[in-house]
Structure 1
Amino acid sequence: MKFESLAEGEQNSSTIDVCNGGSLPIRNVILAGLTIDGNTEVAKAIKIREVRYGGDTVADPSDITDANSNGITDLDDLNTWLGDRSLSLTDSTGQGTLNGTDAGGSECALLVIKTEMDYSVLSDVPDNASVNASVDLIGKQEPL
């Protein structure tokens, strides 16, 4: 996900295909956190509206702690919240095992993170400031 030149209130929907191209099934997909590069103050101004996996909500903004105390639930807060837990996307949704190539081809599920820009929490940030956020996922091939 790359965030630059966002207008106040502009909404973004980042979609990530989570696929298993390996030969063994992945029985548990874990959202371990975010890697945030660039201006971290910008990350604190990007509100989280929704996090969904396989069509189901996995992180409701009202459940995420405002760790940086800026009055909104933002990318920085989501990352801190994820760092405190292992969020099993598989256990939190109806999306089950991602089968591998031995089961007839790779299988995928969609991870969607919806955001909205809130400039009211920014101060002293250059006009050309941007931030990149990548999702840290862990796939576990656990026994049944």
Structure 2
Amino acid sequence: MSEAVLEVKSFRTVVKDKHRELILVDSIDFAIGTKEVVALVGESGSGKSMTSLSIMQLLPRSVAIAGGEVRFCGTNLVGLNKRQMARVRGRRMSMIFQEPMTSLNPVLTVGTQLTEAIVRHLGASKMEAVAVAEDWIRRVGFPEPARIRN
């Protein structure tokens, strides 16, 4: 394996209430190298989504990372504040959610959602973001990208 792009060591996630602590992700270890494809598989309820959400630090308030490391390109993401993590998420690392019907907001146009992400994560102007969004729409095979964007 080449040098690890993502390395997870002794990683734990827990949910706490007033009386107890429940382990959701228990001391997992893995590494993913450059150009390596890895699948996380398991039974329903085995922790695949919670593992991914934990790595991305997209957790509900009652859930917390309880230990371990998540190294992305050499930087330990555990312990980064929200602003620092937001700079990693979307631009350098992202997650494809398993439920396609909840991935886009149905009250906003596709163009609004794409351009918002482009402006936020790529630092483009609104006009540049519109052009990039239309190019992305065209590249995935949709005809009339301007119409689709709107």
Larger Rg computed on CA atoms = 2
Greater fraction helix = 2
Q: Which one has more relative contact order, counting CA pairs under 8 Å at least 6 apart?
A: 1
Decide: shared fold, TM above 0.5. no
**TM-score with structure 2 setting the length:** 0.21
**TM-score with structure 1 setting the length:** 0.21
